[in-house]
Structure 1
Amino acid sequence: MKEHKITGLSCGHCALKLEEQIQQLPGGERAKVQFNSSKIVLDEQMDMDSVRSILSTENVRLESDGEPTGPNWLMIGLYVSVASFIAALFTERMLNSTYVSIAFYAVATIASGYSTFLKGLRNLTKLKFDINTLMTVALVGAVAIGEWKEAALVAILFGINELLESYGMEKARRSMESLLKVAPKEALLLRDGTTEVISIEELAEDDVVLVKTGQKIPSDGVVVYGKSSVNEAAITGESLPVEKEDGETVFGGSINNEGVLHVKITKTYNQSALSKILALVQEAQESKTPTELFINRFANYYTPIIMIVSALVMFVPPLLFNGPWGEWFYQGLAVLIVGCPCALILSSPIAILSGITVNARNGILIKGGAYLEQLGKIEVIAFDKTGTLTLGEPHVVADQAFHPDFYRIAYAIEKSSSHPLAKAVVARCREMGTEEIEADEITTVSGQGITAAVDQKVFRLGNEKIIGNTHISEDVKGVIDRFKEEGNTIVLVASETEILGVFAIADEIRKESTDIISMLHKKGIRETVMLTGDHPTVAEKVAKMTGVSSFFGGLLPEDKVNQVKSLKRHGKVAMIGDGINDAPALATADLGIAMGKGTDSAIETADIVLMQDHLGKLPDAVQVSRKVNRIIKWNIGLSLGLKLLALLLTIPGWLTLWIAILSDMGATILVTLISLTVLLHNRK
C-alpha cells in the first residue's frame, strides 16, 4: 500500500463517497481516503488514471505523485460570482435592465454553483441524496420560479461555506503536520575516522553517528562520547534540557543543545520511539469516535428525511389549505437548503484532530479520537503506586544517629554496593557531607545485610536480624518501632556492643503527585484510588501523603483487575501504570494510561501514553479532552438549533433561500471557529 497526499478535500461525506467508489476498482478493496489528514492509501498496482477520474468528481487532486495542485478554482469562482452579483444589482437598480441583470445573476450562479450542480445531477441519476443533491434541486427550483437573485445568492453563500469548511480542516491539518515534521531526515555516520551523510532509513543498529550542536539525534541510541544537554520535547513535550553523558540513553528527534555527541544507534529509525509515536499519531487522526460514527449514521437518514419534509412543505399547504403554489414551492426549496448537514458533519472532526494535536505537543500520546473522547468522560482514576505516584527508587525519609560515627561507618560499608537500599544510604551520607573512609573484609549475609571491618573494628549493617545479640535500649527500640509503624524499611548500623543509628527507607514519592491529585479532583475527577502490591501500612502512608481518595494494598495483579472491575460499577475508570506489570488492569479499565517515556511496552500496551514518565501533564490532558467533548456537544446543538429556528420560520412563511443558507453557513462558521479554539490551549 502506498500513501498519496491529496488536495481539495474539504468534505467528510465526500471522502466517504470517494472511498466507496475507489474500493470498487480492481485492487481497490483496501483503499482508504483519509479526510482528517487529507491522504489516500492505495495498492501500488492500482490504475492511477481511474483513481484520478474518481477524485476529480469532487475536485480532489493527487499531490504525492508530483501532479501540480493548480489554482484554487473555488476561490476564483467566488470572485467571479461576487463581481457578477454586484453588476447584476447595479444593472437592475440603476439601469432598470431585467434581462441584463438576469444574465449577470446567471453568471454568478454558474461560477459558484457549477461543480455542485454537476455533482448533484450525477447523484440524482443514481438516486443518491447528499448535500450536492439538495443544493442542485434548490438552485434549479429557484431558477424555475424566476428567483434569479436568490439562486445567485445561495450559490455564493454555499461557495463561501465550502471555503470555510476547507479552511477549518486545513488549519487543523497544518497544525498536525507541523507536529509530524520533528522527524530527522539525515544522519552523520562515523566510519573509519571519517563522516558520511546518509538517510536515516539507512542507519543500522550499532552504527555510531556524530551529532553536532543544534542537530537532531537521528534515532534511539546511547551516548558513547561527549557531554551535552538535550531537548527531548519531541518525545516528552517538555522543553527543559536533560543532561546527557557517556552511557546515557537518547531518543531520536531530540535536539543536541551544545557540544558534540557520538551516539551508538540501538534501534533503526522505524523501530525508534519517535517513529512509533508519529505513526500512532497519524493513525489516531483517522480513527472515528462514537460521536462521529453516530453523526455519520444520522446524516444518512437525515438528508432523505429533509427531502420528504421539503416535499410536504411544497405540496400539503396548496393541496389541503389552498395555499399559493409558488409561495410554498419557494418555502420547500428553502427547507432543502436548511437541511444541508455541513455543519453537523463538521461538529466533531476538527475538534478531535485539534485535541489530539495539542496533547501530542504536550508529550501525551492518545492513540485515537475515541480515547480522547473517553478521557473526557472519566470519573475515577486508579493509580499504581510504584513508579507512578512514587519514583520507584528507595530514599532515606528519616534517620536517627546514636553515635558520632554512624554516617561515617554506613558510608564506608555501602559506598561500593549496587543494591538499591545501599544507594539510598550512600546518597544520604553524601548529603550530610560524610568523610569518605575505607571498609575491609566486607561480607554479605543473605537475608540480613553486611558485616565489615572499619578501623580494625567489626560493624554490621542491615535489618534487625544482622545485629544478633547486640543490646537495644528502650530509646533505640522506640525509634525503630516508630519508623516501622510509618511503613518504612529499617536499616540498622551496629558495632558488637551498641546500635550506632537507624535509617528509615521508603520509596520516594514524586514531588508532583500531591498537587496532581488535587488538580485532578478540581478538574472534575470524582475519585482517585491507589492500587498496590505493597503492604497496607506502606500504602496508607503514601495515600495520606498524596491525597488519593482511597487505597488498596497487598494486591496481586489479578486483585488489581478485580478492583478495577468493582470501580467500573460506579463510573468510567482510567487505570494508570507502567505498562508492564499492570497490563491486565490497564486492559480491564475503560481507559489504560501508561507511564512510558518512549518505552516499547508502554507505547504498545495502553490507550494513552504519558511520554514524560510523570503525571505532570495528566490534568491538562483531562482538561483538553473535556473541552473537546463540550465543544462537540455545543457544535451539534448549534448546527441543529440554527436549522430548527430556520425551519420554524416556514410556519409564518418567512423562510427565504438566503436566510436558509445563512443559517447553515452561520452554523459552519461557529462550529469551525469554536473547534479551532482547542489549538489555543496553553498558548499565551
Structure 2
Amino acid sequence: MHATSKQLPKSLAREGSTQQPRTPRPRRFDPKAMLSNSEMQAALGSGLLMLVAWALSGWSEIFSILLYIVSYSVGGWIKAKEGVETLVKERDLDVNLLMIAAALGAASIGYWNEGAMLIFIFALSGALESYTMERSKKDISSLMALKPATAVRIEKGGMSEVAIDLLAVGDQLLVRPGEIIPADGTVYRGESAVNQASITGESMPVEKSAGSDVFAGTINGEGPLYIEVTKSAENTLFAKIIKMVEEAETEVPESQRFIKRLESVYARVVVAATIALIALPPFVLDWSWSSTFYKAMVFLVVASPCALVSSIMPAMLSAISKSARKGILFKGGVHLENMAKTSVVAFDKTGTLTEGLPQVTDFIAGEGYDRNELLAVSASIEKLSRHPLAEAIVRKAEEEHLLLHVIEESTSVTGWGIEGLIEGRLWRIGKSNLLDERNEGGDEQWRSLRRQLEKEGKTVSLILDGGDIAGMIGLQDTVRPQAVAAVHKLQELGVKVAMLTGDRAATAEVIAGQTGVDLVFAGLLPEDKVTHIRALREQYGNVVMVGDGVNDAPALATATVGIGMGMKGSGAALEIADVVLMNDNIEEIASTITLARRSQRIVKQNMIFAVTVIATLMLSNFLQGIALPFGVIGHEGSTILVILNGLRLLR
C-alpha cells in the first residue's frame, strides 16, 4: 500500500506505509527420504537382481533362475503379503495377488525375465504410491500441544496449580500475562488484550475486561485476568476444534472406495477367466492340455493390469513433483485428483490474503506538531510494550530510520494503552475511545477522522500530549502483494473465490474490496467456518480451503482439499492440510489447479489406451493365438507408453 495524504483543517496530515514482499524460502528435493522407503528399496533391489539374472542367463541357466527367484521374492513379497491378507481377512481378491499369479504363471512356462519385469514394475509403482501416501497421514499432535496441562485455581486460603481435567464449571482461575488461557470462561476481574487468532482468526488482539468471554487456547496479553470457568474441559471451543478435525479425518474419499471395488471385480473376472481357460477348452474345443495351459498363461499375462495401474500414478506423481518444484507439496495423489474438480477456493483472511501483522497505514499529526518527531516520540514510548500494535508503530519508525528518545518514566495503563515521560513532558498513547469521553474544541474533527478510518476497517489509536490530542494512528493488517493476482487468476479459470474470517465485517469488506473476492463471510468461529465450507460444497461441489491458523484446521479438514501455509502456518494447520504451500505462494494455486486438470486428462488418455491394448491382446489370444513373448512385449510396451505419457507433465 502506497503512502497517502489527506488534507484536514488545522494542518492534519496523513500517511501510509509500504510493506516489501518477503523472498520465498527455497525447498530442495531430498532423495534420501525416497530411498529410505522400504518398499522402494525392495523394488529397486528386485530390478537390480532381474538385470543381473538376465545378464548371466547365457553363462549359467540354473544360477540365473536362482537369481530370478530371489528377485521375485524381494520385489513381490510385500504385494504378495497384502494380497494374501486381503484373501484371508476379507475373503476377496485384489490386483496384488493377480500380479503375483501372472508373474508365477510366466515363470511356470519358462519366461522368468518377463515375470520378473512384471514384478519389478508393479513393485516400483506401489513403492512410489506408498511414499506419496505416507505424507497424507493426518496428525493433530501439534494442535494438542497448544492445550495447557495445568491451570492456577483460586481457592479459599490461596491458589493451587491443578490439572486441566480437574477444572469444573464455576471454578475461578488466575491467568498471568503471556499465559495460555486454560478454559472457556468469563472475566470477572482484570483488563488485558487477548490474542484470539488461534480460535477466531482475528488479526488484532481483543481487549478483555469484566464480563468478557474468553476461550481456551488463546493467549493473554500484558495484564492479569481472573476468570470464572463456564465450560468443562471436554466442552470447550478448543476441544470442539480437535473433535471436528478427528471426525473429518475419518472420511474416506469416494474415489478410493470406487478404485477398491473396481480392483476386486477386475481381479475376480481375470482369475475366473483363467481357470475357465485351463479347464474348459480340452473338453469343449478338444485342445491339448499343453496348448490350453499356454493360452491361459498368455491370457493371465496380457490381462494383468500393469498398464492400467501405471495409467494413474506416473501422471499423478509427475504433477506432484512439478508442483513441489514451485513449493507446493501434495500429501497424496487423491488430493491432486480432487483439486482438478475445484469449483470454489475459500481463503482465510488473516495471514493468508493478508500479511498477518498490523501495519501503520495512517499517521496523522495535529497542528503544531512535526510528523517525524511525533512518530519518534510514539515509537520511543511504545518500544517498552509487547502489544502487536505497539510493535507496528516501532517498526514504522525503524523503517523511516528515526532516532528514538530516552524514556524517563513509563506506565502501562491497563485496558487503554501506555504513557511515558520524555524530557519531563507526559505523552500518552492508547485507544481512541477517549474521544467519546471528551468534548473540547477540535475533538469533532478527530472523531470524524476516526469514523473514516474505522469505516476502512482500521484500528485507531490516539496520541496525547498531556491533555491535548497531538495525533492519530491508523493500523491495519495489509493485503499481501500476491493476493490480488491470486484471486484474479482463479476467477479466470471459472473458480469462485470466497473469504472466511473471524474478523469484523467492516474489516472483511475492505479486504474483500481490495482483493476482489466473490463471497465474504465475517465474524466466524471455527465451527462457523466448517458450516460455511459444508454449505459451499453442497452448492458448488469441490471446495478448496486455504488457511494458516489453528482455527482453520477444522475447515481445512472439512473441505474437499485443505491447503496450509508452510512459512507462517501453525503446526496444526500444516498437519491437517492435504496440500502445503511451502513458500506461502498463494498465486500458484491457480496454476496448480490447471496442472491438476491436465493430469486428469492424461490419466483418462492412459486408461483408455491401456484398456484398448489389454482388450486387443486378449482378443488376439482367443481368436488368432499369440506367443507369450509377443504378449509380454505388447503388455510391457503399453505400460512404458502410458508411463512416458504421464511423465511428460514434468516438462
Structure 2 length-normalised TM: 0.58
**1:307 and 2:279 correspond:** no
> Where do 1:86-105 residues align within 5 Å?
none
- 370, 373, 378: which one pairs with 1:408? 373
Match of 2:508 in 1: 539
Q: 1:586 to 1:420 in 2, by over 3 A?
A: same
> Where do 1:98-117 residues align within 5 Å?
none
Report the AA paired with residue 363 of structure 2: D
Match of 2:201 in 1: none
Q: 1:175 to 1:595 in 2, by over 3 A?
A: closer
Match of 1:461 in 2: 429
Listed one character per residue, the Cα deviations across residues 218-237 of structure 1 (whole Å, up to 9, x for unaligned) are xxxxxxxxxxxxxxxxxxxx
- 523, 528, 531: which one pairs with 1:554? 523
1:395 Cα deviation after fit: 0.4
Contact 1:386 1:532 in 2 (8 A): yes
Q: 1:656 to 1:478 in 2, by over 3 A?
A: same
Report the AA paired with residue 519 of structure 2: S
Report the AA paired with residue 414 of structure 1: A
- 284, 302, 305: which one pairs with 1:341? 305
Listed one character per residue, the Cα deviations across residues 600-622 of structure 1 (whole Å, up to 9, x for unaligned) are 43444444444445646645654
Q: 1:600 to 1:460 in 2, by over 3 A?
A: closer
Match of 2:240 in 1: none
Distance 1:339 1:454 in 2: 87
Report the AA paired with residue 617 of structure 2: A
Distance 1:513 1:369 in 2: 27
1:485 Cα deviation after fit: 1.6
Q: 1:296 to 1:453 in 2, by over 3 A?
A: same
Match of 1:493 in 2: 463
Report the AA paired with residue 274 of structure 2: M
1:556 Cα deviation after fit: 2.2
SS at match of 1:640: helix
Match of 2:387 in 1: 419
1:553 Cα deviation after fit: 0.9
Q: 1:373 to 1:452 in 2, by over 3 A?
A: same
Distance 1:412 1:533 in 2: 33
1:394 Cα deviation after fit: 0.7
Match of 2:551 in 1: 581
Distance 1:112 1:528 in 2: 58
Q: 1:298 to 1:361 in 2, by over 3 A?
A: farther
1:566 Cα deviation after fit: 0.8
**1:39 and 2:10 correspond:** no
Q: 1:482 to 1:38 in 2, by over 3 A?
A: closer
**1:393 and 2:357 correspond:** yes
Distance 2:36 2:303 in 1: 27
Gaps of 5+ in 1: 1-34, 42-59, 64-68, 85-105, 141-150, 178-287
SS at match of 1:636: helix
SS at match of 1:673: helix
1:628 Cα deviation after fit: 4.8
Q: 1:113 to 1:426 in 2, by over 3 A?
A: closer
Q: 1:652 to 1:408 in 2, by over 3 A?
A: same
Listed one character per residue, the Cα deviations across residues 416-446 of structure 1 (whole Å, up to 9, x for unaligned) are 2322212222333344454533455544444
Distance 1:76 1:441 in 2: 82
Q: 1:577 to 1:167 in 2, by over 3 A?
A: closer
Distance 2:407 2:434 in 1: 17
Q: 1:439 to 1:115 in 2, by over 3 A?
A: closer
1:343 Cα deviation after fit: 2.0
Listed one character per residue, the Cα deviations across residues 183-206 of structure 1 (whole Å, up to 9, x for unaligned) are xxxxxxxxxxxxxxxxxxxxxxxx
Contact 2:364 2:473 in 1 (8 A): yes
> Where do 1:129-208 residues align within 5 Å?
130-131=98-99, 133-134=101-102
1:674 Cα deviation after fit: 3.3
Report the AA paired with residue 260 of structure 2: L
Contact 2:303 2:614 in 1 (8 A): yes
SS at match of 1:480: helix
Match of 2:607 in 1: 636
Match of 1:297 in 2: 264
Contact 2:410 2:421 in 1 (8 A): yes
Q: 1:73 to 1:471 in 2, by over 3 A?
A: same
Contact 1:413 1:442 in 2 (8 A): no
Contact 1:470 1:496 in 2 (8 A): no
Distance 2:48 2:429 in 1: 79
Distance 2:547 2:128 in 1: 35
Listed one character per residue, the Cα deviations across residues 601-657 of structure 1 (whole Å, up to 9, x for unaligned) are 344444444444564664565456555544444433322121123345468647665
Listed one character per residue, the Cα deviations across residues 525-571 of structure 1 (whole Å, up to 9, x for unaligned) are 72221111111111011122223221111112222121112112021
Contact 1:472 1:498 in 2 (8 A): no
Match of 2:473 in 1: 503
Report the AA paired with residue 401 of structure 1: A
Q: 1:541 to 1:318 in 2, by over 3 A?
A: same
1:452 Cα deviation after fit: 4.6
Distance 2:104 2:523 in 1: 68
**1:437 and 2:436 correspond:** no
Contact 1:470 1:499 in 2 (8 A): no
Report the AA paired with residue 307 of structure 1: T
Contact 1:472 1:499 in 2 (8 A): no
Q: 1:174 to 1:458 in 2, by over 3 A?
A: closer
Distance 2:328 2:344 in 1: 19
Aligned pairs, number? 472
Contact 2:315 2:602 in 1 (8 A): yes
Contact 2:315 2:599 in 1 (8 A): yes
Contact 1:367 1:607 in 2 (8 A): yes
**1:74 and 2:43 correspond:** no
SS at match of 2:550: coil
Match of 1:7 in 2: none
Larger RCO (CA within 8 A; separation ≥ 6): 2
Distance 1:401 1:659 in 2: 86
Distance 1:635 1:543 in 2: 42
Q: 1:314 to 1:446 in 2, by over 3 A?
A: same
SS at match of 1:130: helix
Contact 1:488 1:538 in 2 (8 A): yes
**1:594 and 2:564 correspond:** yes
Contact 1:486 1:537 in 2 (8 A): yes
1:116 Cα deviation after fit: 11
SS at match of 1:74: helix
Distance 2:626 2:315 in 1: 31
Contact 1:400 1:502 in 2 (8 A): yes
Distance 2:72 2:411 in 1: 90
1:327 Cα deviation after fit: 10
Distance 2:373 2:573 in 1: 42
Contact 2:360 2:474 in 1 (8 A): yes
SS at match of 2:457: coil
Distance 2:524 2:274 in 1: 60
**1:567 and 2:536 correspond:** yes
Distance 1:115 1:426 in 2: 69
Give percent identity, aligned residues only: 29
Structure 1 length-normalised TM: 0.56
Q: Once structures 1 and 2 are overlaid, which stretch shifts more, 473-482 or 401-410?
A: 473-482
Q: 1:453 to 1:590 in 2, by over 3 A?
A: same
Q: Once structures 1 and 2 are overlaid, which stretch shifts more, 415-424 or 669-678?
A: 669-678
Q: Once structures 1 and 2 are overlaid, which stretch shifts more, 362-371 or 584-593?
A: 362-371
Distance 2:46 2:106 in 1: 30
Distance 1:672 1:70 in 2: 19
1:363 Cα deviation after fit: 5.3
